[in-house]
Homo-oligomer: A and B are copies of this chain.
Amino acid sequence: MYKLLDQRKCVSFLITFFIFSFGYAQKNLLVLQTDFGVKDGAVAAMKGVAMQVNTRLQVFDLTHEIPAYNIWEAAYRLQQAAPFWPAGTVFVSVVDPGVGSSRKAIVLQTNSGHYFVGPDNGSFALVAAKMGIKAVREIDEKTNRLPGSQESYTFHGRDLFAYTAARLASGRIRFEQAGKLLPNKIVMLNWQPAKVENNVVTGMIDILDIQYGNVWTNIDEKLLAAIGVEKKDSIDIDIFYQDSLRYTGTMPLVNTFSDVPDQAPLAYFNSLMKLSFALNMGSFSQKFGIASGPGWTLRIKKK
Give Cα distance in the complex from A115 to B116, angstroms.
34
In A148-179, the 8 Å CB interface with B consists of 151-155, 158-159
Within the complex, what minimum Cβ distance (angstroms) separates A69 from chain B? 7
Residue A251 lies at the interface, judged by CB distance under 8 Å to chain B? no
Contact A55 B58 (CB under 8 A): yes
Contact A257 B51 (CB under 8 A): no
Contact with B along A210-251 (1 / 0, CB 8 A): 111000000001000000000000000000000000000000
Give Cα distance in the complex from A281 to B14, angstroms.
58
Contact A40 B211 (CB under 8 A): yes
In A17-48, the 8 Å CB interface with B consists of 17, 20-21, 24-29, 31, 35-42, 44-48
Contact B99 A258 (CB under 8 A): yes
Known contacts A5-B10, A154-B268, A60 near B40 by CB under 8 Å: no
Identify the closest chain B residue to A35 (Cβ).
Answer: B211
Q: Report chain B residues within 8 Å CB of A38.
A: 61, 63-65
Give Cα distance in the complex from A42 to B221, angstroms.
21
Give Cα distance in the complex from A131 to B212, angstroms.
32
Give Cα distance in the complex from A51 to B58, angstroms.
10
Residue A100 lies at the interface, judged by CB distance under 8 Å to chain B? yes
Within the complex, what minimum Cβ distance (angstroms) separates A173 from chain B? 19
Give Cα distance in the complex from A270 to B151, angstroms.
10
Give Cα distance in the complex from A6 to B152, angstroms.
59
In A138-155, the 8 Å CB interface with B consists of 151-155
Residue A130 lies at the interface, judged by CB distance under 8 Å to chain B? no
Give Cα distance in the complex from A36 to B39, angstroms.
12
Nearest 8 CB-CB pairings of A with B: A100-B256, A48-B84, A155-B271, A41-B80, A41-B81, A27-B55, A48-B85, A101-B258
- Given A2-B11, A51-B58, 4 more A-B residue pairs with CB atoms under 8 Å apart are A52-B86, A100-B258, A153-B255, A155-B271
